[in-house]
Amino acid sequence: MNPYRIVVADDRFNGNYEQEREALSGLEYEFVVCREDMPPQEFLSIAQEADALLVNLRPIPEETISHLRRCRIISRYGIGVDNVDVEAATAAGIWVSNVPDYGIEEVSDHAAALLLACARLIMVKDRGIRVGKWNHTAGLKAFRLHGKVLGIVGYGRIARAFHRKMKGFGFARTLVYDPYIPSEEISRAGGEAADLFTLLREADYISIHAPLTKETRHLIGEREIGMMKPTAVIVNTSRGAIIDQQALQRALEEHRILGAGLDVFEEEPLPKDSPLRDLENVVLSDHSAYYSEESLVDLKRKAALNVKETLLKGRPLYPVNNPGS
């Protein structure tokens, strides 16, 4: 029997695949790692004979999937699978998998950190002190969290961990928008189910935790941002395209909202000429909310186990689709 061909679509781990190789022990395989900047056609020439793809951020559209001659699984390093055409994979008989239970503590911590950094003007103060200023906030205002209204958009595992952690700050109410979660379940967790417009109008601090789908792309646009309080802060650790970035940028420039904490962007890396880089009322991080040394081990091991289980047993540990249905 020929060895399985396992292809890493984009080398975000700088050649470090110790956890994957350990998880794949017992398989006879060749392991091929593609550069992040590898052109699509060069990547396709390597991937077309793959039995499995391990994918980080490289787009895997229908065109790519149509050229995969023997692929049995596309295993995504992460929770979201918006860069993979799941419908095309299903039609082609290819499993798509993710790692839904990793990074929950890390991303919820990061969302809380961004919210607090915005609320307490941490980055403005840090930058000011470094250039010799003192008691300087660039005209921005800070408001307490206690007694205010927290809004959570999306209520999956990460959002619930974030909610649990934020309870200690004494918010008067927590509004939750998630049309797929029963209101009774939200109430049992200490939240109030709300429609999106109510949440945007009433919340002082808003954290985005929804997946990126056709329904959630630009869920927060010009009209929605216009509903927010001028003292509101919005945080996004989910996917950049859930917020219309240009509309948000304009609102920040015109001080129509107080601030934003962003770990994700519509275009990544964030372009060097992006106006967001120059705004005092936004805190930026580089799509790294998922990261800790512990979460990285979980991610890499489980993504590889999805591959191993599929090649040996015909089904991944964490399926996103069901190509046999």
Please give the positions annotated as active site. 239, 268, 287
Candidates 26, 92, 3; CA nearest to 304 is: 26
DSSP 56-122: SSS-B-HHHHTT-SS--EEEESSS--TTB-HHHHHHTT-EEE--TTSSHHHHHHHHHHHHHHHHTTH
Beta bridge partners of 85: none
Measure the CA–CA gap between 61 and 249, rounded to whole angstroms. Answer: 29
Q: Is residue 269 reached through a cis peptide bond, with omega within 30 degrees of 0 on the bond before it? A: yes
CB 176 within 8 A of CB 186: yes
- Non-local CB neighbours of 182 within 8 Å, separated by 6+ positions: none
